[in-house]
Amino acid sequence: MTERQLAELLKGMSLEEKALQLTQYPAYLSTCVVTGGDTAGDLSLSELRRMGSILNANDGAEIMELRRDKREHGISDPLLVMHDVIHGYRTIAPVPLALACSFNLQLVQDCAEMAATEAKYDGVDVTFSPMADLVRDARWGRVMESAGEDPYLCGEVGKAFIRGYHTGGLACCVKHFAAYGAAESGKEYNTAELSEHTLHEYYLRGYAECLKENPELVMTAFCVLNGVPVTGNRRLTVDILRDEWGFDGVLISDYASVREMICHGYCPDEKLAAYAAIKAKLDIEMSSPCYARYLPVLVKEGKISEDEIDDAVMRVLKLKNRLGLYENPERETNLKKRDEVTLCGRYRALARRAAEESCVLLKNDGVLPLKESASVVFVGPFAAEKEIFGNWGCRGNAEDTVSVKEGVDALLKKSVKTAPGCSHKLKETDESMISEAVQAAAKSEVIVACVGESMWNSGEAHSRTDIRIPKVQRKLINELSKLQKPLVLVVFGGRPQVLTEIEEHADAVLYVWQPGTEGGNAIAGLLYGKVNPSGKTAMSFPRASGQCPVYYNSLNTGRPNTQEANIYSSGYDDLPNTPLYPFGFGLSYTKFEYSDLRLSDEEFGCGGNLMATVRVKNAGAADGQEVVQWYIRDLYASCVRPVKELKGFEKITLKAGEEKIVSFEITEKTLAFRTAEGKERAEAGEFVLYVGGNSRDCLQKKFILNERK
């Protein structure tokens, strides 16, 4: 449709129709339209039928029904179908935090494309992904949906997701704008309180970067930021998102977050909640009825102009138009093609590679890789578990998922012995199965204990205060360690858990997150050395829950906690400040040596550049992949800068003995930050460049940025 035709369409709509265009309800309510049941919702059947979009339908068949129903009732407006396609549709890739650990942007993009392809054939138009929330507190359950604690990585991973969705044929939505990940004490739906500096320097960067790939939608967050609920926070949504960043796509609320402004104590009733949201240029209200009920009233009362509604509706119509829904309301829905691609060999292979590259080898005293001839027992509640695909596993299911046992059985071509030892329930107290697992372990040469948190204990509404693995599993590990046999821990989790008291019993620790449909095959390949681990953690692993939030890019303070420091330094009496495993950390079965860090000059002027190079050698006996990480520290600035900031990375493949020169360009832009006056610029002075295979162990070199060219 042309712009003119869209304008005509808008002109022909009543106020009520416009308000319904700006309202989105979950498909389970719309399903009642088809089945003729009671909606039990806030809106009438006829209103639901005329809504512009729905979220999270059951499947393609239901979507087709809903579209048919619209047509049969003479409603020509096409239905826009949105869905939480987060890390896969039916073939499930590892959770986004794990994918970020691959530091392989092409892989992330390919996984997103795979998800989009399966979803679009099943009738989906838009996905509520990527999540670009910066996270620092592993107690928060939703860290699994993020790309971790670094703003640069969040932006790069977010953009890779968007590129993949677009090539796969879905529109997408960056969320949760803004600072949802800054929830105080890691508690779900909690308040965020951030200075302008921290907000801009850290939390907003990921979303802003994502906008460069032109996502069609942005979703507001549930939280209150600096005293104002984000869904009605004009400073954020109008001044920053629309005006400063120029976002002219669709801004959608999170689930009922318009109505929740009443509960927050920001708006006394639904009418004023609708008012606050439309004034914040929020286009679609998800799952609450404030717009449908009150936008027309607000216009009639003269509180808002019809133009304000028209602007919002036009953005929705443009999205439908961009998706081609006016020409073809079914778009690419094609259940036959869906069935052809769903879980096809190519997709399974991709999900497997994604899992292989996402797992992080945290410790290895030489027990890994396992020998195929060794007698190994697989114990622990995740040894044969198939629910390992992640809390946002969309239409993924346990039957399609490969467990560790199945993966190892396939690799060894025999059935390996497993014993759960306990359940994986968070609050499990039953220890009665531990002895059976210990007995089984006593008969084998090597023990692999598959432990961690269930996929139902991370994700939305799954914050935890104590992020150690559950108590009964700690007991199991303790008992196993008494056997004095090589002990490998395979740890599942949607967050970096506190491993302090279990890793000391272990000879190796492989952190596998929630690895998706092909998890078991990937883990088997890694354990037996068919694949060399290459994942690097995108979040620091705390030593204790009380260390949260712990992140590498912190400020130095006036009294940094170094070993020589006196007791009056910034730290704790009982633990060091450092995490157990730092950001960017991950081992391999080979060894990478960094040397010859060089800079093209010792200084450069504004407008110029410096080239840095480093030699990376695979000094071990196995071929492998390494993530070369470039960090910078600005030593003195008008706004103090973090001790290190990731500025670039490259994942390289090196055969045993091979070496490569890896280069990195530094420009003024690389060094820029947001000054106290709100200006994005670099300040002349001294900097340190770091390069290494993690954020802690780096080579370094100083350089200077001069005022003049």
Between residues 128 and 161, which has the closer beta carbon with respect to ligand NOJ? 128
Q: Is 110 a catalytic residue?
A: no
Residue 188 in contact with ligand NOJ, rule: CB under 6 A? no
Instruction: Provide the H-helix boundaries in 359-466.
Output: 404-412, 434-442
- Is the bond into 381 cis (omega within 30 degrees of 0)? no
Residue 703 structure tokens: 């350089």
By beta-carbon proximity to ligand NOJ, the closer residue of 56 and 334 is: 56
55 part of the interface to ligand NOJ, by CB under 6 A: yes
Sign of the torsion angle spanned by Cα atoms 5, 56, 96, 500: positive
Which H or E run contains 705? strand 698-706
CB of 85 to ligand NOJ, least distance (A): 10
Give the torsion through C-alpha atoms of 570, 135, 510, 351, to 10 deg: -160
**Spatial CB neighbours of 46, under 8 Å, sequence gap ≥ 6:** none
Instruction: Count other Cβ atoms within 10 Å, centred on residue 186.
Output: 25
Quick one: which of 404, 383, 387, 405 has its CA closest to 396? 387
Q: Does 460 bind ligand NOJ (CB under 6 A)?
A: yes
Kindly state the smallest distance separating residue 671's Cβ from ligand NOJ, in Å: 34
Interaction residues for ligand NOJ, span 313-332 (CB under 6 A): none
Nearer Cβ to ligand NOJ, position 128 or 152? 128
Find out whether 381 and 512 touch, Cβ atoms under 8 Å: no
**Least distance between ligand NOJ and beta carbon 341 (Å):** 24
**Min separation Cβ 460 and ligand NOJ, Å:** 6
Rounded Cα–Cα distance for residues 309 and 15 (Å) = 9
Q: At what angle do helices 27-35 and 60-72 cross, to 10 degrees?
A: 60
- According to the binding rule CB under 6 A, does residue 308 interact with ligand NOJ? no
CA nearest neighbour of 672 among 690, 685, 657, 653: 685
Query: What is the edge-to-edge ordering of all strands in the sheet holding 446-452?
Result: 360-364, 508-513, 487-492, 446-452, 376-379, 418-419
Least distance (Å) from ligand NOJ to the CB of residue 258?
A: 13
Cβ atoms of 543 and 549 within 8 Å: the answer is no
Q: Number of C-alpha atoms within 13 angstroms, CB side, residue 366? A: 0
Are residues 381 and 501 in contact, defined by beta-carbon separation less than 8 angstroms? no
Name the residue nearer to ligand NOJ (CB basis): 130 or 586.
130
**Assigned token pair, 88:** 């896969």
When asked if residue 394 is in the footprint of ligand NOJ (CB under 6 A), the reply is no
What is the rounded radius of gyration, in angstroms, for the C-alpha atoms of the chain?
26
Which lies closer to ligand NOJ via its Cβ, residue 161 or residue 255?
255
Q: Tell me the closest approach of the beta carbon of residue 84 to ligand NOJ, in angstroms.
A: 5
Q: Nearest to ligand NOJ by Cβ — which residue? A: 128
**CB-wise, 222 or 583, nearer to ligand NOJ?**
222
Among 50, 163, 175, 386, binds ligand NOJ (CB under 6 A): 175
In terms of CB distance, is 113 or 260 closer to ligand NOJ? 260
Give 603's DSSP letter.
E
* Given 133, 150, 254, 400, the catalytic residue: 254
- Which residue among 128, 378, 581, 649 contacts ligand NOJ (CB under 6 A)? 128
Min dist CB 287 to ligand NOJ, Å, is: 8
d(C-alpha 157, C-alpha 645), whole Å:
16
Collapse the DSSP code of 541 into the 3-class scheme (helix H, G, I; strand E, B; otherwise coil) and give the result: strand
Minimum separation from the CB atom of position 55 to ligand NOJ (A): 6
Using the minimum distance from each CB to ligand NOJ, give the nearer residue, 175 or 462: 175
* CA 426 from centre of chain: 23
Please give the backbone phi and psi of residue 435, each rounded to the nearest 5 degrees, phi first: -65, -35
Alpha helices in 200-269 (DSSP H): 205-211, 234, 260-263
Contact set for ligand NOJ, span 239-258 (CB under 6 A): 254-255
- Name which of 141 and 380 has its Cβ closer to ligand NOJ: 141
Q: How far is CA 583 from CA 30, 268, 416, in A?
A: 44, 44, 35
Nearer to ligand NOJ, 144 or 488 (CB): 144
CB of 255 to ligand NOJ, least distance (A): 4
Q: Which of residues 83-112 bind ligand NOJ (CB under 6 A)?
A: 84
3-state secondary structure of 170: coil
Question: From the CB of 256, what's the least distance to ligand NOJ, in Å?
Answer: 9
Neighbours of 570 (CB within 10 A): 14
670 touches 632 (CB < 8 A): yes
Q: Indicate whether 501 belongs to the interface with ligand NOJ (CB under 6 A).
A: no
Do 538 and 153 meet the contact criterion of CB atoms below 8 Å apart? yes
Alpha-carbon span 686 to 647, nearest angstrom:
16
Please report whether residue 395 would count as binding ligand NOJ according to CB under 6 A. Answer: no
Number of residues that bind ligand NOJ (CB under 6 A): 8
Does 56 contact ligand NOJ by CB under 6 A? yes
Helices 151-168 and 105-121 pack at an angle, to 10 degrees, of 40
181 or 693: CB nearest ligand NOJ: 181
Q: Give the nearest distance from C-beta 157 to ligand NOJ in angstroms.
A: 16
> Which residues of the chain form contacts with ligand NOJ (CB under 6 A)?
55-56, 84, 128, 175, 254-255, 460
**Which residues have a catalytic role annotated?**
254
